[in-house]
Amino acid sequence: MNRHEHGHRHHDEAMLSVEDALERILGHFHVLEAEETPLLDALGQILAEDAVSAHDIPPLDNSAMDGYAIQAASVANATEESPMTLRVVGAVAAGELPSTSVEPGTAVRIMTGAPIPPGADSVVPFEETDEIERRNSGHDITEIGIKIAAPLGSDIRPAGQDVRENTRVLSAGTVLRPSEIGVLASLGFGKVKVVRRPVVAILSTGDELLNAGDAYSEGKIYDANSYSVAASVLRYGGVPKLLGIARDNLDSMNTKLREGLEADMLITSAGVSKGDYDMVKDVLADHGRIAFWSVRMRPAKPLAFGVLNAGGDRQVPHLGLPGNPVSAMVAFEQFGRAAIHKMMGKTGYLKPRIQAILDEPIYNTDGRRVYARAVISKQNGDYHAKLTGNQSSNLLTSMAGANGLAVCPEDLSVKEAGETVEVQMLDWPEDVF
């Protein structure tokens, strides 16, 4: 073995910190190109160009209330006991343009959102008029009694109050949440240019695996990882492409891997622990290159990362998750999620984190960062972290019960009960608030 190979081997097999592994992985991902997409589909995506308003919102001065548009001077002396009576000369509803103007001594009946008629400088809501008495009398309302001296401009919403014509309302780089989607709709955009969603090909490997929905067969287990990973990809904004199950032989692996070459990323699970290296390595040698890492974390110490040659200059990054279902999910949360975020143009890669009081100890036997499945709840104003029991990485139901991952740092042999622990929140169920 020459020096270079030796160095390379050493490099691959050294224990990497979570941060180093993440940095190396993210170095292979780039923000994807922008594409136009129907507005609603863009939820959670990143706006790729500034959104500029073509007109004012609201477009015209309009009424904040159902009532009467008047001139404030006409009702300067109005009181509850002696209302000022005005002649009703018209009506205007939202979406209409006023056909009559308001003059001294007259009023136009107006609905919320309707444009203010020319001449009017205030709106008096129905509640401050004798509208109800008159309506109850059964006669047409030709006059209206105003019971207050309306301040100038009252209940008029000025044009452009929300958005001014020709201004940048949302900047490129903004994450589109429901409120931003609403703002874009209010600007009239039916489509929007966003960073496109990454297509993530997902492949499980193992002779023991059955696809969910297939008949049960003794000695086999159902493939959980394809589904937990695909669901995570969906949740974080990517488009999962399930390749199914590759068997533990070269042909099967080769065939399936080829199906993943059109994706923006391939995620496999299993086959990355010591015993399995050789075959996966051989397969990957045909398609690209791969490194097998030991990451200083528990669960999910073994991790593979490489690139597949996809024709021409194109390369597809490949993340090889461990097979144990909890390991696969925890590694996905640390690395897969970040890669998806980076491709989508998002800058914050970390899950939301909180500090919680640990209700029981987390033991750390071998200097790795421990991600303990935990249930976080709020008690007397403090967050508390209770572990979900047995932390073996094959127990997927313990992941289902958890809403967070409580982190014991690699340099501590134990995080004691009562100590403060950092928790990566997986979810924010109601009882955590």
Contact residues for Mg ion (CB under 5 A)? 206, 270
Give the nearest distance from C-beta 415 to Mg ion in angstroms: 32
Residue 93's binding partner out of ligand AMP, Mg ion, none, with CB under 5 to 8 Å set by partner kind: none
Q: How many CB atoms lie within 10 A of CB 428?
A: 13
- Rounded-to-integer distance, Cα 316 and Cα 262, Å: 8
- Nearer CB in complex with ligand AMP: 126/227: 227
Which residues of the chain form contacts with ligand AMP (CB under 6 A)? 204, 206, 208-209, 221, 223-226, 269-273, 276, 322-325
Q: What is the DSSP letter of 333?
A: I
The residues with which 295 forms a beta bridge, in sequence order, are 16
- Nearer CB in complex with Mg ion: 12/248: 248
Burial 233-259 (b: 16+ CB within 10 A, else e): beebbbbbbbbebbebeeeebeebbee
Phi–psi pair at 256, nearest 5 degrees:
-70, -40
- Nearer CB in complex with ligand AMP: 226/388: 226
- Nearer CB in complex with ligand AMP: 195/284: 284
Give the nearest distance from C-beta 319 to Mg ion in angstroms: 17
C-alpha 173: how far from its chain's center? 14
Residue 14's binding partner out of ligand AMP, Mg ion, none, with CB under 5 to 8 Å set by partner kind: none
Closest residue (Cβ) to Mg ion? 206
- Nearer CB in complex with ligand AMP: 317/323: 323
204's CB contacts (< 8 A; 6+ apart) are 223, 225, 226, 244, 245, 246, 268, 269, 270
Phi–psi pair at 269, nearest 5 degrees:
-130, 150
Give the nearest distance from C-beta 428 to Mg ion in angstroms: 35
Give the nearest distance from C-beta 246 to Mg ion in angstroms: 10
- Nearer CB in complex with ligand AMP: 259/422: 259
Judge whether 194 and 34 are in contact, CB under 8 Å. Answer: yes
Residue 223's binding partner out of Mg ion, ligand AMP, none, with CB under 5 to 8 Å set by partner kind: ligand AMP
Residue 198's binding partner out of Mg ion, ligand AMP, none, with CB under 5 to 8 Å set by partner kind: none
Give the nearest distance from C-beta 311 to ligand AMP in angstroms: 28
Give the nearest distance from C-beta 393 to Mg ion in angstroms: 14
Closest residue (Cβ) to ligand AMP? 323
Distance of CA 82 to CAs 76, 128, 148, 421, Å? 12, 12, 9, 69
Nearest to 288 by CA among 252, 247, 258, 331: 258
End-to-end CA distance of the chain: 58
